[in-house]
Structure 1
Amino acid sequence: MISAEHYGFQHTADADHTWLESLQFPVVVPEAHLYALCYINVRPTLGVMWNQVMVCGTLTESRSDLLHYNENHFLPAPADFLAIDSPLGLRIRALDAPREFRIDYAHPDGTEIHVDWTGLMDPFDIHDPAQSPQAGIADDLHSDVRGGTGHVDMTGRVTGTLTVRGRTHEVYSLDRMDRSWGPRHPMKTRNMFIVSVAAEPDLAFHMICPWEPDLAGTDAIRLMHGFVYDGGEVRGLVEKARIEARHHGMLCTGLDMEVHDVHGRRYDLHAVPDIGAPWIAGPSAMTHNALMRFTVDGRPGYGRVLKNYSLPYLNARRGRFHDEPTAAVYV
């Protein structure tokens, strides 16, 4: 059972330089086609913190099209992971961990985020068999080792304001935050899809999906861990699933998912593009981070789709010498 203590630093005395502690808080305004992301990544044994804040308002394959981007890899680590004051301008407080958080951010260009995050469920522990049917069977895609790691996801209600380029928007969304800890090698990120979906007011999903880009159709993506939050009840999703994505370069241009919970109920989810941009979530993580328009059994919704390529995977297939031909054709 995840408690408040799991949101403090988890590293032990023998942890080495690969040990990582992270938090991710998205802030979306679907009706305004806006997606902000606050990411905290700490290497506690090294005493350093990496922060990112980005705001996206269009569909692009270039970070140059973002409305706001602020990043620093070389910040002092906080003394307390439950009370983060970053020189980047980001302030995070655990008001009542593990469910209640406050996020404040202010930048000289006028970009501001001021939101309360209230969890609607107990954090979903992918390593707990009582929550995830695949616990102890499937890998933790967020880590490159087995054992000694942690990863939790939590659907919550996000309320407050997002200001960018002189426009202030009310935030009232249903979304998913996450918390990870454990050894993580920066060059061992895997190919994967991470999908979080909301159909207001009380239906939400989260799916962690390994992806094999060399395969086609429904053979390429599997369901490893996930849950459905349905009317206040949380149920794990089973491995049985049918998932198919469509692509254009880095972009996910369509996603169809048939998933089943532990009670045998089936859900059909379909997504089309809205906005999104590249996100470099780590040295080897080539991610397109999108807010897509969903339907869930016919209900309208929205959701975040993180399509991640492993850079070593891409290098192995695309790396070439100057005298080798490229497959690209320009007309």
Structure 2
Amino acid sequence: MITPEDMQFHHRPDSHWQWVETLALTFHIPDTTINGIVYIVARPMLGVCIADVSLHDRITDLWEEQLYIDNQQHLPCPDSFTDFSLPNGLNVRALEPLKGYHVTYKGVDDTQLDLTFRNLHTPFDINDPKMDPKASERTGSGGDWSGHYEATYRITGEIIVRGEKYDVDCVDTGDRSWGPRTEGELKNVVWWHASFGEDLTIHLFTGHDIAKTRSLGPHVSGYVFEDGEIFGIVDSSGIQEYHRATPMGGEIEVTDVRGKKFSVTYSTLNACYWAPYPSNTYVQAFLRANHNGQRGCGTVQIGLSRAYLTRNRDAIRSRY
């Protein structure tokens, strides 16, 4: 169960030097191909943090061809993870406990953010068996998510990109994690979600060996947020189409604890390699999704280490 204290740092004086705390807040501009992320990777034992503010609007192999990128790798770690400002112009303030965040940012080239993220539900704790039916199976093998939760938000506000203003009013999903994490070879994982307004969001964590198959799996975690309630996912399957390692679309099916099945097809609106820290890349795509005639939007991120990609470079290039 996630408590208000989990919005704050979790490290102790004797924590491993590779202890990490992350915050990921995603958003999109309705009726456009633009989505964005504010991502913080803090290493309090080292006194540094990474801050990434990215806005994507097209399908490309190159990160720098996207709309706006501000990725700074060595900023001072803040003293608090609930109310802080960074030298890159980013300010993050938690609303009342577990209710969301207010984010402002003033970057370069007349680019600014002013966004409020309001939780639509109690954060989903992937390590709580009462929420996640697969949590008990992962006990003792939590990997890189020794502490981890997701939250689906209603996001409102505005962004200005190189002088052009956009209003933001959308539903999207972010996450929060903490624990020791190397900068070496992390496990392959797909972080996927699609929202169809405030009444339905499907979120999925699954494995994926992209060099060998287009099929997703094995299932790791996830939830269905429907009509104000959360239902853990017990099983999932899916298949994706690719251009090299970039996801271009696909279909998934999930089954929740009620035995209710949801099938979603999706296609890519924008995509690129995204590298919040250099040893690993998260090939991300902004999705247009369809569920029983309902149109929605979402995100897929495929976490792949550089070691895995180089080891399997010929297989990936020849398969897709």
Shorter-chain TM-score category? over 0.9
Question: In 2 relative to 1, CA 327–161 (structure 1 residues): closer, same or farther, beyond 3 Å?
Answer: closer
Overall identity of the aligned pairs, in %:
29
1:68 has 2:68 as partner: yes
1:135 has 2:135 as partner: yes
Counterpart CA distance in 2 for 1:327 and 1:185 is: 25
Which of 228, 231, 234 is equivalent to 1:235? 231
CA contact (8 A) 2:62 2:272 kept: yes
Q: Secondary structure at the match of 1:313?
A: helix
1:150 has 2:147 as partner: yes
Q: Secondary structure at the match of 1:59?
A: coil
Deviation at 1:311, TM superposition (A): 1.6
What is the correspondence of 1:129-208 to structure 2 with a 5 Å cutoff? 129-138=129-138, 143-144=143-144, 149-208=146-205
1:3 has 2:32 as partner: no
Corresponding residue for 1:249?
Answer: 244
Corresponding residue for 2:290?
Answer: 295
CA contact (8 A) 1:105 1:113 kept: yes
Corresponding residue for 2:96?
Answer: 96
The size of the alignment, in residue pairs, is 318
Question: In 2 relative to 1, CA 300–76 (structure 1 residues): closer, same or farther, beyond 3 Å?
Answer: same
CA contact (8 A) 1:144 1:188 kept: no
CA contact (8 A) 1:28 1:171 kept: yes
Corresponding residue for 2:274?
Answer: 279
Deviation at 1:122, TM superposition (A): 0.5
Q: Secondary structure at the match of 2:250?
A: strand
Counterpart CA distance in 1 for 2:140 and 2:263 is: 25
Counterpart CA distance in 1 for 2:317 and 2:294 is: 40
Supply the RMSD in Å over aligned alpha carbons. Answer: 2.0
Corresponding residue for 2:221?
Answer: 225
| Cα deviation digits, residues 8-60 of structure 1 (max 9, x gap) | 11012211211000101112113121111111111001111111111111111
| Cα deviation digits, residues 62-89 of structure 1 (max 9, x gap) | 0121111112111111111111101011
Larger Rg computed on CA atoms = 1
1:261 has 2:256 as partner: yes
Which blocks of at least 5 consecutive residues in structure 1 are unaligned? 320-325
Question: In 2 relative to 1, CA 83–232 (structure 1 residues): closer, same or farther, beyond 3 Å?
Answer: same
Which blocks of at least 5 consecutive residues in structure 2 are unaligned? none
Deviation at 1:4, TM superposition (A): 1.4
CA contact (8 A) 2:211 2:316 kept: no
Deviation at 1:308, TM superposition (A): 2.4
Counterpart CA distance in 1 for 2:71 and 2:17 is: 21
TM-score, normalising length: structure 1: 0.91
CA contact (8 A) 2:289 2:298 kept: yes
Question: In 2 relative to 1, CA 233–60 (structure 1 residues): closer, same or farther, beyond 3 Å?
Answer: same
Q: Secondary structure at the match of 1:137?
A: helix
What is the correspondence of 1:118-133 to structure 2 with a 5 Å cutoff? 118-133=118-133
Q: For 1:283, give the aligned amino acid.
A: P
| Cα deviation digits, residues 160-211 of structure 1 (max 9, x gap) | 0011122211111111111100000111222121101101241101101111
Question: In 2 relative to 1, CA 142–102 (structure 1 residues): closer, same or farther, beyond 3 Å?
Answer: farther
| Cα deviation digits, residues 285-316 of structure 1 (max 9, x gap) | 22221111100122111110112222211222
Deviation at 1:110, TM superposition (A): 0.9
Q: Secondary structure at the match of 2:31?
A: helix
Show structure 1 runs of 4+ deviating over 6 A: 139-142, 326-329
Deviation at 1:282, TM superposition (A): 2.6
Counterpart CA distance in 2 for 1:259 and 1:17 is: 38
Counterpart CA distance in 1 for 2:239 and 2:313 is: 24
1-10 vs 206-215, which deviates more?
Answer: 206-215
Question: In 2 relative to 1, CA 170–140 (structure 1 residues): closer, same or farther, beyond 3 Å?
Answer: farther
